[in-house]
Structure formats: C-alpha cells, structure tokens
Amino acid sequence: MDLIIHLTLLEVPSNVQLVLPSPLRAVQERVAQREFALQRNFDDLQSEERQSHSISERLAALAEDLRQYQDTKRLQSFGSQQGLNLGEGNCPTCHQSITDSLLPQDTLQQVMTVEENIDFIKAQIAVFQTMERDNVRIVAAKRSQVAALREEVSELRERVRSVRTSLISDARLPSIAALQERVNLETRIKRGERTQQEFETLLIRLGETSGSWRDVESRLAALPPGDLTETDENKLKTLERSFRNQLRTYGLSSTSPDTLAVSRENYKPIHEGFDIEFNNSASDLIRTLWAYYTALLETSVAFGGNHPGLLILDEPRQQSTARQSFGTFLRHLADPSLAAQQVIVATSEEDAVLKTLLEGQTFQYIDFEGKILRRLPESG
C-alpha cells in the first residue's frame, strides 16, 4: 500500500526517493504479508468449495445409479426376463454394425451383474461420503482462517492510517497510532477474555458429558451379551416349549412341531426363520393359534407377566378341525394350573358332544337359547 504525499509548494526532483519512516514501513510490510496470506487462503477456500460441490454432484449421480439398479433387481425378483442391452455391436439409431471400443477387444469382456453393480456403487458412495465429511471439516477450517486473516488485515490497515495521522499531527498531541494501538489491544484482550469464558463453559459441559458417557458405558457393560436377559430368554423358552408340546397333542400334521419356534424379534411363531404358513392344512393353522394363545397365558402364570389372565375364544373349532383335537384343546384349557385364570369359550357345538369331550373336567357350562345378543325390552 503506497503512501501518497501531497506537496503544494515544493517540487521533488525525479532523482530523489521518498523514504518512509520506519514504523510506517514496518506496518505496511506486515499488511502486504497478511494480504498475501489472505489471498492464498481465500483461493484455497474457493478450491475446497468447488471440490465440495463436485462431491455432492457425484453422490447425487451415484444415488440415482443405485436407485436404477435396485429397481432392475426388484423387477428381476418379480420374474422379469429383460436383459441389459450392452455391447451388442450395433448402432441404436441406424442399426448398422459398429465397433464398440477404440481398442482391440481380443478377449471376452465379462459384464458385471446387477448385484455386483449395486455392491460397487455402494462402495463408491461410502468412499465419497468419507471424502465429503473430510471436505466439510477442511472448508470450515479454511473459513475460520480467512475470517481471522480478514480481521487482522483490517486492524493493520487501521494501524497504517493511525501511523500516517501521527506523522503529520502536532508533536505536542498524543500519538494517534499509540492510541489506536491501545484501543486495539483492549479489544483483543476483551475478545480473549470472552473466548476464555466460552472455553471454560465448554470444558464444564464436556465434563458433564464425559460423566454421562461413563455412566452409559457402565450400563452397557452390565447388559447381557445378547439382546435378551437371562430371565427373558427363560420366558421365551418356556413359551416355545409349551407351544410345541400342545401342537404334538393336538395332532399337527403339516410339519413337525420341532421345526417351529418363537421369534426373538417379534415373539411370534415362526417356521425355519419365516412366518408360519400352512399351505396344505388350514386346520393346522387353527391348531397353531390354539397353542400360541394358550402358551402365552401359561407363560404369564409361570413368570408373573403382564397378561390380564383372560382368554376369550369365539368358535375356536374352525376349518373343520378334528373333533378329537378340539376335545384335547378343551381339556388342556380345563387344566388346574389355569384355575385362577378366566377362560371363556363360545362355541355352537352340541351339548352332548361338549359334555362328552369335557367328561371328568371341572368347568362351568352356560347354555343360551336363541341369540345371545338381543334387544333389551322397552321399559314401560
């Protein structure tokens, strides 16, 4: 930054060089250095921002490619036989024979499958996401550096103006540059004090967070190795054992009861890892429902669970389930272990059949004539 001196009465010969005072020259050299550093950091910041924009565009393109390949895989899973028209050696417009590559293709090129393309694109997305996170940190650091350099250059320029003013001011007056330096020093001191206070506040918060983190780590370490506690696992094993034993007594025939289990994710019956589906016998699905609902009640009785102790079954003998299986189910519900629970079975079976099936069991039989739900008589 040049210093312009206006001379009104004297003419300066061309062979005479103006020599600036030492304080002003030192400040101007400092300004030039910091301005150069500012320009260099600003150029780096713009470069990193352009790279950030390029990474975002690349991630968007990869996400679109991944979506298209996933759609193709989904169509193939639905039975689509449409293949990929790649490398056929024909122009898609005029259908003339063309060479697909500028290089000789002596060896057969193996095209990646849809699954391989999906895995490859996912790997690329992971790489570019890592690059994006690193770029975000770099851009934030560069912006902080540029902001700090701008503030420093602004202070130095103000210092130059103060020194100039001091050089032409009355010597009997206080130096403007010294006053300005004192003001700048006080400003920096106050800024440093605020920064120190914020840093101490952050240290306090970090200490609190560290304590919470240690507490969470200790609680995590106290958890069992699996997703379930030992008591919960015992409950599920009891539920599973009761479920299988009942199905054996009910005469399950579509599959072996030993292949059935209780899911550790949603606690529903599963067959070899999948939801139960009986394609051959709808009556076996009814037997499964009998066993599962009753097993839930029995497990709650054994472990004191949250079951309300009430089981209501409306027409449980559906899908022409064998009468012998139905009788076994009713006798199981009349077991003394469930005496403290309320089990209600509503059925349209004949009275004689029910009494024969429940012979020797303790139960309360209520017979309704006509419809159970009827309009109340109008009050006179």
Give the pLDDT of residue 2: 39
Q: What are phi and psi of 313, to 5 degrees?
A: -120, 125
- For the residues 327-337, what does the mean pLDDT come to? 88
**pLDDT confidence band for 228 (50 / 70 / 90):** confident
Give residue 238's pLDDT band: very low, low, confident or very high (50, 70, 90): very high
d(CA 28, CA 35): 10
Token pair belonging to 354: 């029910």
C-beta atoms surrounding 326 within 10 Å? 24
According to CATH, what is the number of the domain 232-357? 3.40.50.300
Residue partners of 112: CB distance under 8 A and separation at least 6: 120
Q: Tell me the mean pLDDT in the region 320-345.
A: 87
Q: Is the pLDDT of residue 323 over 50?
A: yes
Per-residue confidence (pLDDT) for residue 124, from 0 to 100: 92
* pLDDT in the model for residue 244: 92
Token pair listed for 157: 């320029």
Task: Tell me the average pLDDT across 241-252.
Answer: 91
- Taking residue 56's Cβ as centre, other Cβ atoms within 10 Å add up to 13
Task: At 250, list the tokens.
Answer: 């009910």
- Return the amino acid letter for 67: R
Determine the pLDDT at residue 380.
56
Report the distance separating Cα 176 and Cα 161, nearest Å: 9
Report field, pTM of the whole predicted structure over 0.75: no
Is the model's pLDDT at 167 over the cut of 70?
no
pLDDT in tens, 278-293: 555 788 888 899 999 9
Least confident of 61-65, 201-205, 208-212, 229-233: 229-233
Q: Where are the domains of the chain?
A: 22-77+112-219, 232-357
User: What mean pLDDT is predicted for residues 66-81?
Assistant: 80
Nearest alpha carbon to residue 257 among 279, 268, 241, 233: 241
Query: Is the model's pLDDT at 169 over the cut of 50?
Result: yes
Residue 304: its pLDDT value, please? 86
Mean pLDDT comparison of 92-101, 141-150, 182-191, 366-375, highest-scoring range: 141-150
pLDDT for position 371: 77
Residues 177 and 221: their CA atoms lie apart, in Å, by 63
**Where do the H-state alpha helices sit in the chain?**
22-77, 114-168, 176-222, 230-250, 282-303, 323-333, 351-357
User: Is residue 299 within 8 Å of 233, Cβ to Cβ?
Assistant: no
Q: Which of 158-172, 248-262, 277-291, 311-325 has the lowest mean pLDDT?
A: 158-172
Residue matched to tokens 């004689």: 352
CA within 13 Å, CB half, 72: 15
Identify the DSSP state of 319: T
In this predicted structure, the answer to whether residue 133 has a pLDDT above a threshold of 80 is: yes
**What pLDDT does 64 receive?**
92
Are the beta carbons of 281 and 253 closer than 8 angstroms? yes
